[in-house]
Amino acid sequence: GKVYVISNNNTVFQSSRYNQKGIVGVVSDTYGNSVGIKEGHVQLPISVAGYILAYVKDEYDPGTPLTSDKNGFLTKMNRLDAIFYPERIVATYLRKETSALWNNIEVNGRHWVKIK
């Protein structure tokens, strides 16, 4: 449920800055579809579309654009950043999940977001 980015040398790592350049998506155990799986390789299940549970810094109005923060969480994107860096909008906020489990997956305080 955290944001991951890619570096110039193709290393993928957890976001460490607000609105970080190189965002590839959100790692999630609630993704609906996956592609490019190779058996026997260490892989990150990065969600590129749909609705997932993700770590979000706060509760927001539905539809609020979200980007990365320094801890890999999603956070509200300020209006100017959304205009100048639309490629860094990772998701939009949907709602808080109030249950402790969703389909036998621990929620751990995550919220529902729609991946962009």
Q: Tell me the per-residue pLDDT of 101-111, one tens digit each, with 9 for 90 and over.
A: 898 889 999 99
- H-helix or E-strand spanning residue 66: strand 65-68
Tell me: the pLDDT tens digits for 11-60? Answer: 999 999 999 999 999 988 886 665 566 777 777 788 878 899 999 999 99
Q: Residue 32's pLDDT is what? A: 64
How far apart CA 93 and CA 2 sit, in angstroms, is 14
Per-residue pLDDT, averaged over 86-113, amounts to 94
Q: Residue 15's pLDDT is what? A: 96
Pick from 58, 45, 62, 72: nearest CA to 109: 58
If one compares 41 and 86, the residue with the highest pLDDT of the two is 86
CB 57 within 8 Å of CB 77: no
